[in-house]
Structure formats: structure tokens, C-alpha cells
Chains A and B, each alone.
Chain A
Amino acid sequence: DVKVTQSSRYLVKRTGEKVFLECVQDMDHENMFWYRQDPGLGLRLIYFSYDVKMKEKGDIPEGYSVSREKKERFSLILESASTNQTSMYLCASSPEALPRSPLHFGNGTRLTVT
């Protein structure tokens, strides 16, 4: 089975801190994604990557950046955390370019910014 591992289940950070959310997948998938999930808004795509060192903006990239130095790891970076970035963050991967494949999700990181 594909395993997508997010390094933290819960994080509490202060406003202005630089925050790193890490995601690792163990199935050599080409594509990786970061979403945030908020009540009433559903899942919204922040960034995605189709290859190492490659990144594409999703629907809500403002305030975020990403890094993909290795195929298995996709990091989401909050350069200066703000309270409106309090959310559930979900990482996902897929083996081939959409639209052919479903996504495999990690268990999520619930981030609170105070």
C-alpha cells in the first residue's frame, strides 16, 4: 500500500514564525500536492509538483512556498505564519499525471497559529 506520511499531526506556532510542514511518500510517485481544508470551504490546492525541483501554484499559493529537492519529499513552508493560516493541511501523491490516477493522502497536519 502507498504510504504518505506527514511529519506532525498537530502543530502550534506563533504569528510570524517560519513553519515547515513535511510530507514523504514511499511509492516513487511523480506527483505531490498540498491542500488546506477548512470548514465550509472544502479542500483547496496550495501548490503541487510534477517532478523534483518543479513546482506549480495552485489556487491559494499566497503566503506559502514549497520545496521538492527529492522525489519522495514535498515540503510546505509558511514564511511568516499568520492566524488565517490556522487550518488542516493535507499532503497527497499520485503515480502519474492527472487525470488518470486517484490521490493518496496523508493523515493531515492540524496547524494552529496563535
Chain B
Amino acid sequence: SQQGEEDPQALSIQEGENATMNCSYKTSINNLQWYRQNSGRGLVHLILIRSNEREKHSGRLRVTLDTSKKSSSLLITASRAADTASYFCAVVGNRDDKIIFGKGTRLHILP
């Protein structure tokens, strides 16, 4: 399966600290995407990184991709209470048009 798997499943950190979440997958990919989901809401797209890219930034978010290790990481710097949410990685394989979501990391920012 090309499904991305996030690690850790849950993470609690103090406000102001950095949060790092990881995603691993099994097959070759076209791109990998990160989404955020606030409790009881839909998913919001954060960043898309293509297989030929190694790093992308968006505000306080930094995503890296290591295709040799089949892994990606999402770093949130200077975390805020509003960052409390679940974060999902989703992989799009080279062989089909499907986007497959992982089960997510639940991030809790402590005041």
C-alpha cells in the first residue's frame, strides 16, 4: 500500500515550542500533501511537495521530503494554541490517480 503513515499518533507540546510530525510511505510517489483538520471540521490543505522537491515552506510550516527513505516531515515552528488539530499526510502514487490519506497525528498545544 502507498498509504502514508504518520508518527507519532499523538503529540502534546507547550505553546511556543516546535512540533514535528513524520510520514512514511511504501511506494514511489508523484507528490505528498499535508492537511490539517480541526475537531469536527473538514480537512484543510497545507502544503503539496512533489517528488523532485526536497523542502517547502509556508509561513511557520516547513515540509521536507526524502524519497530515498520514503518519508516526509512537517515542522510547525513557534506553535500556538490555534495549531491544535489533527494533521494528515496524503500520498499520490505514480501508478494511479488516487490520493491515499494516513490516519493522522493529533497535535495538542498546551498553554
Majority SS at the chain B contact face: strand
Q: Report which residue of B42, B44, B45, B102 has the largest number of chain A beta carbons within 10 angstroms of its beta carbon.
A: B42
Residues on A with C-beta less than 8 A from B102 are 42
**8 Å CB interface, B21-63 against A:** 30-31, 33, 35, 40-45, 48
Please give me the residue from chain B that is nearest to A35 by CB atom.
B101
Least Cβ–Cβ distance between B89 and chain A, in angstroms: 11
Q: Report which residue of A40, A43, A97, A107 has the largest number of chain B beta carbons within 10 angstroms of its beta carbon.
A: A43
Contact B103 A41 (CB under 8 A): yes
Contact B42 A42 (CB under 8 A): no
Least Cβ–Cβ distance between B66 and chain A, in angstroms: 19
Determine the distance from Cα of A90 to Cα of B101 in the docked complex, in whole angstroms. Answer: 13
Contact with A along B68-111 (1 / 0, CB 8 A): 00000000000000000000100011000111011110000000
Least Cβ–Cβ distance between A70 and chain B, in angstroms: 21
Contact A97 B104 (CB under 8 A): no
Q: Contacts A45-B98, A98-B92 given; indicate if A108 touches B103 (C-beta within 8 A).
A: no
- List 18 additional contacts besides A42-B3, A99-B99, A103-B35; criterion CB under 8 Å: A35-B101, A42-B88, A42-B103, A43-B43, A90-B43, A92-B43, A98-B97, A98-B99, A99-B31, A99-B92, A99-B93, A102-B48, A103-B43, A103-B99, A105-B44, A107-B42, A108-B42, A110-B40
